[in-house]
A and B are shown apart, each in its own frame.
Chain A
């Protein structure tokens, strides 16, 4: 067996051509990353970042403008059919065949990939059990809840035993419980050795599931590392948020304190001019909190809130892009 990576993306670009009055869109502008076999990899980015376009190029449904993609060593542009045998995708929009039953969705997928009858049936049964959709075997997909449909799409994807499983925002639109179940399911698949590539715009999801992740925006990778390393990459290493009513600005004095690496004033929704919301990236060494509190006291300010926390991926994202992912 070759030891080629499960996926290689090199300098991928995609420009959707101008259509009528709509101008051309540079959806992907030079992405490169590679994913090892057995890895759980994430693409994290806001709406319009180019995540689906990237997945489309990998899965042969979007023609790349430039660059090269290898799935388990197979070039997706030169040998699309061979590439398709090695990959499977759970798309962002639910696209189950509405004219078939759940079981048939699986067995027909097996037929498309040329699985012999016995194997097809056995695999469909096993996957339905594993994904807990057996009781829906004879239902039509459109009668199922979003979470159920998502499971059916995952079962369908696994029918032909792909080397790489790609999931495009699989938990968007699911309730918290269904989302948690799906996470467990994906972790289970990963433990069994399936290579997984997932896109998401949920920080918590990326943090919890992915071994490595790329933060993408405007078709470019801003950074790529393990979630822990990404968080460590923030200045300081901890975040101190502070809200106070104050007669004079606190920021300049606080920013000058030893241990404060960077500081920002955050918008306050209340519109109260005397209220100051600050975020300090700090080196949470000895006595830092004391020093901060004494600055607050000597300024004659009323402290409403103070918290010291480890940075989250969201903080990484805000730091890198200067904008809030959830907006």
Chain B
């Protein structure tokens, strides 16, 4: 446990030194999207208030997904790269599983921080916020953010240990891009009833559960998916990716 906390501390200290860069990387996209879709387009009467209310939790979940995945993926490529910096961690008195779980926790902290900063930043940038019912309910938001962070980070661990760093660009284009578009970030899952049974296909996308959790937590007036399904999806995907990610981490590190 000492080694676990020391490794975590190292990651947090290093991340906080690069905080500006990391936050810029995570927040630029959602902030600009809000500026365009939440401020400019509504003034031109091209976007309705309903869309703005739907978009805020969705952008939070996208922010967390990107921050969580990148927060694990980028350090991992130096760790597993030619110089194998990861060996210094693996030589610490801690199990290999402990090292990989620590990576997930560090990534989740990164993701959660980005998500929690994104929310007020987006609200500030909205035109005439009064029209939009954004009411963070902390008792729901905090556990939602924690689970979303763990899900994103363990997804990052799975991707980072299975995909070679040179394919990272491809990964973002063909995996994360579609996940974001079909992640119920810009529309509520309940609204997908119009698609009939196709709406269940969306449940294969982990981001859907993150978006719906944020929706439940910050926009109480917008209907969200049934809570058991929501919690089940978040927990289920987190467990799945933790198992896959830690396994392939062990395979990649202990030869």
Contacts and interface: CB of A to CB of B under 8 A. Distances in A.
A88 B87 CA distance: 11
A245 interface: no
A202 interface: no
A180 interface: no
B250 to A, nearest CB: 10
Interface pairs A-B: 3 shortest CB-CB: A111-B6, A112-B92, A114-B2
Given A61-B254, A84-B93, A95 B6 contact: no
9 contacts: A16-B255, A61-B253, A62-B254, A84-B91, A93-B82, A95-B88, A100-B14, A112-B94, A113-B92
B18 to A, nearest CB: 8
Given A61-B254, A112-B92, A113-B93, A95 B84 contact: yes
Given A61-B254, A63-B254, A91-B84, A108 B6 contact: yes
Given A61-B87, A95-B87, A111-B9, A81 B94 contact: yes
A109 B84 contact: no
A16 B94 CA distance: 24
Given A111-B9, A112-B6, A59 B85 contact: no
Given A61-B87, A91-B87, A100-B10, A112 B93 contact: yes
A95 B254 CA distance: 16
A95 B91 CA distance: 12
What is the interface of chain B mostly: helix, strand, loop, or mixed? helix
Interface string B227-255: 00000000000000000000000000111
Contact of A61 (B82, B90, B94): B90
A95 B83 contact: yes
B195 to A, nearest CB: 41
Nearest to A56: B255
Interface in B81-108: 82-85, 87-95
A94 B6 contact: no
A194 to B, nearest CB: 17
A112 B93 CA distance: 7
Interface string A22-63: 000000000000000000000000000000000010011111
Interface of B: 2-3, 6-7, 9-10, 14, 17, 78, 82-85, 87-95, 253-255
Nearest to B79: A95
Contact of B83 (A61, A84, A93): A93
Contacts of B89: 112
Nearest to A62: B255
Contacts of A112: 2-3, 6-7, 89, 92-94
A323 interface: no
A89 interface: yes
Given A93-B82, A93-B83, A95-B88, A114 B93 contact: yes
A61 B255 contact: yes
A85 interface: yes
Nearest to B82: A93
Contacts of B255: 16, 56, 61-63
Contact of B93 (A62, A85, A94): A85
Contacts of A109: 88
B253 to A, nearest CB: 8
A228 interface: no
Given A88-B91, A93-B84, 15 more contacts: A16-B255, A59-B91, A61-B91, A61-B253, A61-B255, A62-B254, A63-B254, A85-B93, A91-B87, A94-B83, A96-B88, A97-B10, A100-B10, A108-B10, A112-B3
Contacts of A59: 91
Of A59, A62, A80, chain B has the most CB atoms within 10 Å of the CB of A80
Contacts of A265: none
A95 B85 contact: yes
A99 interface: yes
Contacts of A94: 83
Interface string A112-137: 11100000000000000000000000
A112 B84 CA distance: 18
A319 interface: no
Contacts of B3: 112-114
A80 to B, nearest CB: 8
Contacts of A88: 91
Nearest to A160: B93
A217 B92 CA distance: 31
Contacts of A60: 90-91, 254
B204 to A, nearest CB: 29
A291 interface: no
A297 interface: no
Nearest to A91: B87
B80 to A, nearest CB: 11
A191 interface: no
B102 to A, nearest CB: 11
A148 to B, nearest CB: 16
Which of B2, B91, B92, B254: most chain A Cβ within 10 A? B91
A97 B17 CA distance: 15
Contact of A81 (B78, B87, B93, B254): B93
Nearest to A157: B91
A89 to B, nearest CB: 7
